[in-house]
Structure 1
Amino acid sequence: MSLHILAEDLINRINCEQSEDELEDNDDSDEDEDYETPQIEEPQMETEDDEYDIPLVNFATTSTSSCNPRWRKRKFTSPDSVFLGATPQPPVSAKIDTPYEYFRRFTPGSMFNNIVSNTNLYSTQKCGKPINISNKELEQVIGMYFYMGLVKMNSVQLYWETETFYPPVAGVMSRNRFQEILATLHFVNNLAVTEDDKKDKLWKLRPFLYQMKECCLKLTPTEFVCIDEMMCQFRGKTSKIRIYLKGKPHPWGFKIWACTDPNGFLYDFDVYQGGTGVRTERGQGTDVVLKLTSLPVNANYKVYADNFFTSIPLLKKLKERGMFYTGTVRKNRLAGCPHFEDKELKTKGRGALDYSVEENFQIAAVKWEDNKSVTMLSSLTGAHPVLEAERWDKQNSHMSRFP
């Protein structure tokens, strides 16, 4: 969806044009207000290897031999995986939602009412009188931010300057009113929050995040879902949960665990608040997947993720829920798996593969030679049938087909 269309439709829908009298009232002064400088905190530094990698043997819950992996060199027999869940249906009417209507699916009126109420309450607590923000003004501020994301300037004030005046932003609301709203914008009543609530680093946003999550959970998930992390770009220095993740296109920002489908729909999410230093029984990656796959059980959903999340205990737990899993896996999570060594597989050439099956849980492990060795773990499919894939051949400088 185009942000430009969404922003334009949003602002047009709420009739942003104000009368001359309203503009004169809001433009009494262009002087900037003095704001308290927030305390700067050091960002968290993380890499994808920060998760605690616990060897598979440590996951055994009993001392019986059946809990230890038993690998065999044989072909994997795919289970019955016919999808039994609900399928997303097209709208009953032929009418397609406008970008604004679609936006409001995830931002219901109750969410806006809560923000407006708490903003007016906080402004009264801080300044002695409410700023009297309305739902319309809140929508205008959001629309203005969409446009600011499309037409970026070095400073927010530049949108109102004479030489850089930008009508979709500066023509909607005066600069002073915009800054006044931002200075008092609140999502929760500070005086009603307990000390236990404040242990949550996102307590000031929790009502908004909860309502947003409820809207996502109302969507009907597709047969195939993916669990991964998203980075929400942010280079400010005042957040306790901002992290630096090396190797990402936007390394600075907020990390969000997300459950999505191939079409990009978001079904569930959880904002990462930093490590606790406590080793969980199953590991962080497994805990994240189990938390975000709140899907109907025994419906044969297919879950995909990368090697940060994959482990045999995760596949076993998902099988108990009637879900299948496929993903890359790290070497130290395949205790006793008799795969070829990387050097030995490399000598066999690109497209070579090796495979094994874990007998206790019926899980296939496949090691395939691409530019380097890649190991997959799956409760859904194995190494066969072998098909060909088109890959870039660096030596011959063209696309070639490999098994």
Structure 2
Amino acid sequence: MLHFLNTFLHYIYRDIRPPAKRKRGGLNAQAALSWKTEKDTDEAPPKIEFCPARPPGVQLISADTHTPLELFKLFFTEDTVGTLCQNTNKQAAGRAAKGCKYKWTDVGVNEFYKYIGLIFYMAMVKLDDIKDYWQQNCIFSVEFPAKVMTRDRYRTISWNVHLSDPDEDRVNDKKRGTPEHDPLFQVKPLMDIIRTASQALYHPRRNLAVDNRLVATKAKTGKYMKATPTKLGFKLFVLADSSNGYTVDFAVYTEKENFHKRLSYDSVMSVMNLSYLGPGYHVYMDDFYTSPKLFRDLHAQNFAACGTFREKRKDCPRNADNALIGRSGRGSFRWIRDGPLVFVQWMDTQVVSVCSTIHAAFTGDTVQRRVKPRHGARVPETFPCPSPVTEYNRYMGGVVDLSNQLIQYNTAQHKTMEWYRKLFLHFLDIAATNAYILHKELTSLRQQETMTHKAFMEELTAQLCCVSHTAKQPISDHVPVPANISKVASRRTCILCRMDKGKTQTTPWKCKECGVSLCVTLKRNCFEEWHKRH
């Protein structure tokens, strides 16, 4: 009887049950449980007017010509390098007071630029160890570094290079374990200068990309990163212009800023500056960052966004009816609209999930894929593709590779045990790469030929070291020749051995141009020493 009553009441009240609660992220019950298909039409949200704070592009006079060194010095100014020299000299003096036994003389601005030039040279010419750049009397020897500075001088500058005031470092170290402690204090001065210069010299175009960049280090201060070979490194969140890979802004991950609680959200918000950029920008990102909350908050600040998403991320639709399955044909897609957000799933070789506040679900875009029929070779075939997927591949897929390639090609990174020096080297990479992109933009405006990245770095290295890498060395007649060209061997007294040591040392060699007899042996090269003096 009781069972019959419950069944009767169920049929009576089934149509007057309370309304379903809104699902995660604001999706109502009906929308959350049913994906729409290709046959359903969708409308894009109202476009946000693009009003950049400055005219996009290089913020320099396009008619002016700039050498690679002049562009690089816009990021590493002489005042900035002068401050680095002061901090480096103070650090060396402090270590000498503690008993470090190496020869030290204060480094100046010009010498520090040469030191940076050698760092870039080593990025262009790869050898296994720093000391290999100064080895002599070997078929693998390179002559250039020894002409700029000695090996010991380069190493002592490397040991002592310091970005912040050592006295202020000690004050900050005393705050360790308190909220006032700044874990990035030793790199903040230079990092802020590079960030400010990057934003002042260039204003990005409409489409931006957010990505992370890893700087590996073995230092204990580094943050644990699974993707790095050393399992230790620093994660940088980078905002780049999708059109050319220019690094507009970046932030270094620190636990102090509570990034570990809302890492994906805060990292994007930290580099999206409305007052600097202006409204109407489109920002693209991968599934590490994408969340409905982030996209709604960006939309509230007049930024539109697009990115791949993870189904398990909070507020994203999942377990919905009519979803794609493994048997869905290639090119099939489903979508759900929730206010300004559209969630799209598209079947390629596997399911691709994209969320956007910019696009409609589908506007007729297609892609070509090479497919293999049952018999025969692969043939191209056209498949429909949702607009968010097409635009994501256009503005995110290419820029990540472009930006990272420009940074990684000829990177200044090499082994060092000081964590802050690893970031210093990465700041050099950012400055040099941004300087090259400025060069490309300026030469394009003047309709002039643009140097390749490799040629730009070679010229920058030469100018930092105060040499010309294009100048050919004149052919000299000062070469050793036999003292007597007759069949009878002849030995004469070496003039340098007699002058310096008062010894009578015979040699079969003389200078072709000078006619002076000089020793040329493995242990004694009077020929070279004589021509250095004369």
TM-score above 0.5, yes or no: yes
Structure 1 position 314 matched with structure 2 position 274:
no
Structure 1 position 171 matched with structure 2 position 140:
no
2:92 is aligned, of 92, 105, 123, to 123
Structure with bigger gyration radius = 2
1:225 is aligned, of 202, 208, 214, to 208
* Helix, strand or coil at the partner of 1:105: coil
Aligned residues: 331
State the match for 1:258 in structure 2. Answer: 238
1:195 is aligned, of 172, 176, 193, to 172
Question: Residues 340, 330 of structure 1: CA spacing in aligned structure 2 closer, same or farther, 3 A cutoff?
Answer: farther
Alignment of 1:336-351 (within 5 A): 336=317, 338=320, 340-343=322-325, 346-351=326-331
State the match for 1:53 in structure 2. Answer: none
Q: Is the 8 A contact 1:241 1:274 kept in 2?
A: no
Distance 2:162 2:89 in 1: 8
Structure 1 position 70 matched with structure 2 position 27:
yes
- Unmatched 5+ residue regions in structure 1? 1-63
Give the CA deviation at 1:275.
8.8
Structure 1 position 363 matched with structure 2 position 341:
yes
Distance 2:79 2:329 in 1: 60
C-alpha distance after superposition, 1:369-396 (max 9, x if no partner): 1111111111111212121112343565
Q: Is the 8 A contact 2:371 2:381 kept in 1?
A: yes
For 2:193, the aligned partner's letter is Q
Distance 2:127 2:24 in 1: 59
Question: Residues 397, 289 of structure 1: CA spacing in aligned structure 2 closer, same or farther, 3 A cutoff?
Answer: same
State the match for 1:397 in structure 2. Answer: 378
Distance 2:123 2:46 in 1: 47
2:81 is aligned, of 87, 108, 112, to 112
State the match for 2:116 in structure 1. Answer: 142
Distance 2:148 2:356 in 1: 53
Question: Residues 168, 391 of structure 1: CA spacing in aligned structure 2 closer, same or farther, 3 A cutoff?
Answer: farther
Distance 2:232 2:66 in 1: 34
Q: Does 175-184 or 384-393 show the bigger shift?
A: 384-393
Alignment of 1:78-93 (within 5 A): 78-85=45-52, 86-89=54-57, 91-93=60-62
* Helix, strand or coil at the partner of 1:81: coil
State the match for 2:350 in structure 1. Answer: 372
Q: What TM-score do you get using the length of structure 1 for normalisation?
A: 0.74
Q: What TM-score do you get using the length of structure 2 for normalisation?
A: 0.57
C-alpha distance after superposition, 1:145-164 (max 9, x if no partner): 11101111111111111123
Q: Which has the higher helix share?
A: 2
Superposed CA RMSD in Å reads 2.9
Q: Is the 8 A contact 2:307 2:354 kept in 1?
A: yes
Distance 2:380 2:214 in 1: 32
Distance 2:185 2:259 in 1: 22
- Unmatched 5+ residue regions in structure 2? 1-20, 98-102, 385-534
Structure 1 position 241 matched with structure 2 position 222:
yes
Q: Is the 8 A contact 2:218 2:233 kept in 1?
A: no
Distance 1:207 1:99 in 2: 24
C-alpha distance after superposition, 1:23-50 (max 9, x if no partner): xxxxxxxxxxxxxxxxxxxxxxxxxxxx
1:299 is aligned, of 279, 285, 296, to 279
Distance 1:398 1:201 in 2: 56
Q: Is the 8 A contact 1:339 1:367 kept in 2?
A: no
State the match for 2:157 in structure 1. Answer: 181
C-alpha distance after superposition, 1:237-258 (max 9, x if no partner): 2242154433x79976432110
C-alpha distance after superposition, 1:348-370 (max 9, x if no partner): 311100011113xx211111111
Q: Is the 8 A contact 1:76 1:357 kept in 2?
A: no
Question: Residues 265, 93 of structure 1: CA spacing in aligned structure 2 closer, same or farther, 3 A cutoff?
Answer: closer
For 1:102, the aligned partner's letter is L
Greater RCO (CA < 8 Å, at least 6 residues apart): 1
Question: Residues 371, 208 of structure 1: CA spacing in aligned structure 2 closer, same or farther, 3 A cutoff?
Answer: same
For 2:83, the aligned partner's letter is N
Give the CA deviation at 1:228.
0.6
Distance 1:101 1:274 in 2: 37
Distance 2:296 2:281 in 1: 14
